[in-house]
Amino acid sequence: MNQKNSHRKIAAQQDSPTMSLQVYAETNLPTEFGTFRTVVFLDEVDQKEHLALVFGDVEGKENVLLRMHSECFTGEVLHSFKCDCREQLHTGLQQIAESGCGILIYLRQEGRGIGLGNKIRAYALQEQGYDTVDANRMLGFEDDLRTYDVAFHILNYYKIQSVRVLTNNPSKLKALEESGIPVIERVGLHIPVNPHSLGYFQAKQTRMGHMFEASQFGGEPTEQPSKPRHSTADTRHLSRQHANHTTPPKTNGHTPKSNGHAWLAKIKPHE
């Protein structure tokens, strides 16, 4: 796919009412992981620019290694310890380059689709003891607002026949299957937990079904005080006032003592 294909429309609005996607620009991009053919796909409806980073010849191929990755400014740019997004991005690019053939689709949907500002508001609620799911609900959002229609159109643009998916998220596998793109294999991303991301990993595993390995939770953490947990019922009761930008509720003032190695016992690998 060369430069003469720039501005070629690949998804018209009559085909997909929520988007009008075109190839806007492309070039070879050297990175620490290798040189990727980097293609910008512009959605003319919301003016968001999504990326495909292509390594090797993927067109018309089967068993293509795929990472569908949503942007994370706090993790990828600011190197926040609260999530594993930067490590997933780097691991995805590295494994794709090592495989010799693959594609990473970078989707512009910050904070599981709620945007950067609301993500920071959710972080503020997490400081009060709410997990990532409850924080979203208190702000009036669903647990995960991400969609993958753009990725499906990009995969069809390259006529990719089947994929091996770099993910821990079962929702991505389901979305791919429902789109008609065969998933041959899930390739797990084994990013170690740190004390700041522990609650995030717990919520993703126990409340969103993400699939982790026990080895990701090994090692001695630095001090990570436990936070009071609020029930889902509490969260829903309070969500209306937080949707109106009110001050986060106070906790009950009780902070349980950290119990050392017990933090690992809270996590069990997803079977």
- Active-site positions read 144, 146
- Is the CB of residue 106 less than 8 Å from the CB of residue 69? yes
**Residues whose CB is less than 8 angstroms from the CB of residue 132 and which lie 6 or more positions away in sequence, other chains included:** 122, 126, 199, 200, 203, 204
Distance CA 238, CA 247 (A): 11
Beta strand ranges found along the chain (DSSP E) = 9-11, 21-31, 34-43, 49-55, 64-70, 102-107, 163-166, 183-187
- Which of 201, 83, 94, 203 lies closest to 143, judged by CA? 203
Q: CB burial class (10 A; 0-12, 13-18, 19+) of residue 148?
A: buried
